[in-house]
C-alpha cells in the first residue's frame, strides 16, 4: 500500500522539475459557496497539469537497462506531456500512444516535448491496448497513467504542498479519472491530517470510480462521454481502488453543464483558464454535490489547464447558457416588409445585444408565406433572458428556446 514515506521520497525526485504551484483563497467563490474556498492552481504546473509529478518519479526510478530500452505510455493528453517532458529531461526515449480524437493542442505539445506520438484507438483504453503491444514488441517499460504506486506517489506530492500551504484545511476536493491523483493526495492528506476529509469528483459521463467503490471491485463502464476529457477513463485501477477504499471519504459526480459553468466562472471571476477536468472540483462545490458547513475550509484542486481552443469556445457558450448570459431562440415570422425590424425593436427595448442573426425563407419546414428567424443574444442573466422571451410573446410571436 502507498505510504506517506513513498510520497516524501517522490518529492525529492520531482523537485526541480515539478513546480510548487500556488494555493490561493478565492473571495468570489467563497462568497458564492459559503465555504472558505481555496484553489490549488495546478493548472500553472509545468506542462499545464499534475501529471509531470508521477511521470518524473517513475522515470527517475528506472534501472539502467530500462532507461536504455526506453518507455511507452498511453494518454489522452496530460500524462502524455508529463511523460514526454520527464523522459526528455532524463535522456530516455519515449513513445506515447494517444487516442485518434485527442485534442490537437495536446498532441502537438507532446511532440514538442520530444516524444514520438502514435494516434491509435477512439479512447484511452484502446490507445492503452496498443501501447502494451509496443511494450511487448519493443521491450519498453510501460509508464502507467495512474495504476502504479510510484506514479501515485509522485502525484501525492501535490497533497504535501496543500498541507504545507493550508494546514487548517477541512476538506480537499480532487478530480478522479483513473484514480492516481486522488490516491496520492488522499494518503498525503490523511496521514498528516487524519480529521481532514477527502472528496473525489468524477464527470457524470465517466463515473467509473463511484460504480467500482459501490461494487467493491473495479467495474468498467461501457463508454465515456464528457467535456472533461482529461478524466474520461472507463475504469479506475486495481491499486488506486484499494487506496480510495481506505482513504477517500466520498465520491460524487457533476454533469457537463456544471463543469462548463465552473470553467466559465473561473475565467470571469478568477481570470484562470482550466480544462474540463480542471474544473470538476470547483463544479462539485458550487453545485452542492456534497455537503459542507458554512465557513468550512475547502481546497479545490484545479488539476489541469490544457484545453483545446476549439473546445474552449463551445464550453464557454455552455457556461454562459447556464449563467443566463446567452440566449438562442427561433421565431416564425410573416414574410412581409418590416417584420424583422419589428422584432429588432422589441429586442432593443429589452436591452439585449444581438450576437448573430439567421433569417431563412427557403427551408422546407417554413411555410411559403413565412420565414424563420434565429437569434443569438447576449443577456445579463436568466431573468433578463426570460424578460426578452416574454416581450416577444406579448407581441404575438411564438418563441422556441434553443439554448
List pLDDT tens digits, range 353-383. 888 888 876 666 666 667 888 999 999 998 9
Neighbour order of strands in the sheet with 297-302: 23-25, 36-41, 297-302, 171-175, 197-203, 250-254
Q: CATH no. for residue 84?
A: 3.40.50.1100
**pLDDT score of 364:** 60
Report the pLDDT value the prediction gives residue 183, as an integer from 0 to 100. 98
Cβ atoms of 262 and 280 closer than 8 Å: yes
Give the residue-averaged pLDDT of 212-222. 94
DSSP code, position 116: E
Q: State residue 366's pLDDT score.
A: 62
How far does Cα 238 stand from its chain's mean position?
Answer: 23
Residue 307 sits in the same domain as residue 239: yes
Q: What is the mean pLDDT of residues 133-147?
A: 96
**Same domain assignment for residues 89 and 154:** no
Domain boundary residue among 92, 116, 142? 142
pLDDT band of 76, cuts 50, 70, 90: confident
> Do 264 and 210 lie in a common domain?
yes
Both 276 and 331 in a single domain? no
Please give the average per-residue pLDDT across 274-303, as a whole number: 97
Cβ 93 vs Cβ 59: under 8 Å: no
Residue with cell 488539476: 303
Q: Answer whether 117's CB lies under 8 Å from 110's CB.
A: yes
Of 142, 157, 173, which residue sits at a domain end?
142
Are both 153 and 46 inside the same structural domain?
A: yes
Q: Look at residue 234 and tell me whether its pLDDT is greater than 70.
A: yes
Number of domains into which the chain is organized: 3
125 band by pLDDT with thresholds 50, 70 and 90 = confident
Judged by phi (left if over 0) then psi (alpha if -120 to 50, else beta), residue 188 lies in alpha
Q: 318, 349, 364: which is the final residue of a domain?
A: 318
Picking from 63, 21, 61, 46, the residue whose alpha carbon sits closest to that of residue 149 is 61
Give the range with max mean pLDDT: 20-34, 99-113, 305-319.
20-34
> Cell numbers at residue 253, please?
459526480
Partners of 94 in beta bridges: 71
Average pLDDT over residues 301-317: 89
Full-model pTM: 0.88
Do 174 and 125 sit in the same domain of this protein? no
What integer is the mean pLDDT of 189-195?
98
Looking at residue 334, its pLDDT comes to: 82
- CATH code where residue 368 lies: 3.30.70.260
Give CB contacts under 8 A, 24+ apart, made by 87-94. Answer: 87/55, 87/59, 87/114, 87/115, 88/113, 88/114, 88/115, 89/17, 89/56, 90/56, 90/59, 90/60, 90/62, 91/67, 92/59, 92/62, 92/67, 94/70
Q: Report percent pLDDT > 70 for the chain.
A: 98
* Domain shared by 254 and 347, yes or no: no
Return phi, psi of residue 385, to 5°.
-60, -40
Whether the predicted pLDDT of 338 surpasses 90: no
pLDDT at 365: 65
Contact in structure between 342 and 311 (CB atoms under 8 Å): no
Is residue 291 over pLDDT 70?
A: yes
pLDDT tens digits along 258-270? 999 999 999 999 9
pLDDT at 323: 86
Q: Where are the beta strands (DSSP E) in 135-283?
A: 141-142, 171-175, 197-203, 250-254
114 and 97 within one domain: yes
- pLDDT, averaged across the chain: 93
Statement to judge: residues 156 and 276 lie in one domain: yes
Where does the pLDDT of residue 308 fall: very low under 50, low under 70, confident under 90, or very high at 90 and above? confident
Q: Which domain holds residue 62?
A: 58-142
| 7: DSSP letter | H
Task: Choose the weakest-confidence range: 121-135, 161-175, 329-343.
Answer: 329-343
Q: Are residues 185 and 246 in the same domain?
A: yes
Same domain, 306 and 277: yes
Considering the chain, what percentage of its residues have pLDDT values greater than 90?
Answer: 74
* Helix, coil or strand: residue 348: helix
Say yes or no: 292 and 351 in one domain: no
Amino acid at each position: 500500500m502507498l505510504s506517506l514515506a513513498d510520497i516524501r521520497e517522490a518529492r525529492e525526485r520531482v523537485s526541480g522539475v515539478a513546480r510548487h504551484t500556488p494555493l490561493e483563497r478565492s473571495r468570489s467563490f467563497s462568497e458564492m459557496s459559503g465555504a472558505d474556498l481555496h484553489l490549488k492552481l495546478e493548472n500553472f504546473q509545468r506542462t499545464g497539469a499534475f501529471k509531470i509529478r508521477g511521470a518524473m518519479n517513475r522515470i527517475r526510478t528506472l534501472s539502467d537497462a530500462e532507461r536504455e530500452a526506453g518507455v511507452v505510455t498511453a494518454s489522452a493528453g496530460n500524462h502524455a506531456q508529463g511523460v514526454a517532458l520527464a523522459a526528455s529531461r532524463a535522456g530516455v526515449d519515449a513513445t506515447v500512444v494517444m487516442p485518434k480524437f485527442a485534442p490537437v493542442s495536446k498532441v502537438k505539445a507532446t511532440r514538442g516535448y520530444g516524444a514520438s506520438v502514435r494516434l491509435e484507438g477512439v479512447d484511452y483504453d484502446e490507445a492503452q491496448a496498443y501501447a502494451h503491444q509496443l511494450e511487448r514488441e519493443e521491450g519498453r517499460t510501460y509508464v502507467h497513467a495512474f495504476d502504479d504506486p510510484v506514479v501515485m506517489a509522485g502525484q501525492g506530492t501535490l497533497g504535501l504542498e496543500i498541507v504545507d500551504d493550508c494546514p487548517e484545511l477541512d476538506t480537499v476536493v480532487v478530480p478522479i479519472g483513473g484514480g492516481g491523483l486522488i490516491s496520492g493526495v488522499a494518503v498525503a492528506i490523511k496521514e498528516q491530517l487524519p480529521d481532514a476529509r477527502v472528496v473525489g469528483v468524477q464527470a457524470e459521463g465517466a463515473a467509473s470510480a463511484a460504480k467500482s467503490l459501490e461494487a467493491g471491485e473495479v467495474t468498467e463502464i461501457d463508454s465515456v462521454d464528457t467535456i472533461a476529457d482529461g478524466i474520461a477513463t472507463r475504469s479506475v485501477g486495481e491499486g488506486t481502488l484499494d487506496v480510495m477504499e481506505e482513504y477517500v471519504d466520498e465520491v460524487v459526480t457533476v454533469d457537463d453543464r456544471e463543469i462548463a459553468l465552473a470553467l466559465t466562472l473561473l475565467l470571469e471571476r478568477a481570470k484562470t483558464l482550466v480544462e474540463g477536468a480542471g474544473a470538476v472540483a470547483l463544479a462539485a462545490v458550487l453545485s452542492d454535490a456534497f455537503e459542507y458547513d458554512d465557513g468550512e475550509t475547502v481546497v479545490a484542486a484545479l488539476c489541469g489547464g490544457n484545453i483545446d481552443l476549439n473546445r474552449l469556445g463551445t464550453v464557454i457558450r455552455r457556461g454562459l447558457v447556464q449563467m443566463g448570459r446567452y440566449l438562442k431562440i427561433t421565431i416564425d415570422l410573416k414574410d412581409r416588409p418590416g417584420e424583422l425590424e419589428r422584432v429588432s425593436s422589441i429586442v432593443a427595448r429589452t436591452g439585449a445585444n444581438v450576437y448573430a442573426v439567421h433569417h431563412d425563407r427557403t427551408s422546407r419546414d417554413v411555410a411559403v408565406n413565412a420565414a424563420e428567424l434565429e437569434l443569438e443574444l447576449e443577456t445579463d442573466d436568466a431573468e433578463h433572458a426570460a424578460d426578452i422571451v416574454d416581450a416577444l410573446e406579448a407581441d404575438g410571436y411564438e418563441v422556441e428556446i434553443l439554448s
